[in-house]
Amino acid sequence: MVEDPERRRRARHLGPERRRPLILDAALEVFSANGFAGTTMQSVADAAGVTKPVVYDSFANRDELLLALLGREEQHLVVSIVSALPADPSVGTPEEHVLEGLTAFLTAVSKQPQSWRIVFGAQYGAAPVVAERVRAARAFLVESLRLTLLQSLPGVADPDANLPVLAELLASMTESCARMLVVDGTDRTPAELAKTVSQVVAGGFGNV
């Protein structure tokens, strides 16, 4: 983790509200490097260049700190998700939608790896309230995909029965691709991963 002397200097001299974004920046770096277990109030204080009581002035405990960090990073992720969804799902095929949308989405993921690492990593070893926040973010993704599929596949015989299943499968593939990019360190590009998923979609959705 690269130290930022200027950030450390500013953090020491700001009030709690103005200091919070700087502490969150430090927390994101610590979490990305050390995971949930290694993200302590002391480690965040060290990264921010302040004492631990200063961190407690901004956040009551580690869960509150991590929830605030999740909330901030989710805003980046929601923008990525929404911008990747087709403007008009009724135009084009599901395969085309997946290829175009997933390429855009995974490209955004590759540019924001720290945001995604905290979403993935917070599922493991976190307090229930934090894990629930992560599940809510994923539920948003699944519902967005379900609504897109509903418009993309007007001929589906029983959308209430089939589309939630398809959306969940597509969400799982999307999540797996994102994890490969930011956690596993795959050498495949976002476009290559998106093409693979779109080919699966082409072979499977046509039989619904």
Q: At the fourth CATH level, which superfamily is domain 5-60?
A: Homeodomain-like (1.10.10.60)
**Residue 22 phi/psi, 5° resolution?**
-70, -40
The reply to whether the predicted model has a pTM over 0.75 is no
Helix (H, G, I), strand (E, B), or coil: what is residue 77? helix
Q: Is the pLDDT of residue 13 over 60?
A: no
Please list, residue by residue across 16-34, b when 16 or more beta carbons sit within 10 angstroms of its beta carbon and e when fewer do. Answer: eeebbebbbbbbbbbbbee
Which of these, 13, 204, 186, 190, lies nearest to 84 by C-alpha position?
A: 190
Q: Which fold has domain 75-206?
A: Tetracycline Repressor; domain 2 (1.10.357)
Q: Which residue has the higher pLDDT, 158 or 97?
A: 97
Q: Which residue has the higher pLDDT, 2 or 84?
A: 84
Same fold, 5-60 and 75-206: no
Estimate the crossing angle of helix 41-48 against helix 62-84, to 10 degrees: 70
Distances (CA, A) of 149 to 27, 36, 39, 152: 37, 35, 39, 5
Domain ranges of the chain: 5-60, 75-206
Q: What is the pLDDT of residue 52?
A: 94
| pLDDT tens sequence across 167-194 | 788 888 888 888 888 878 788 999 999 9
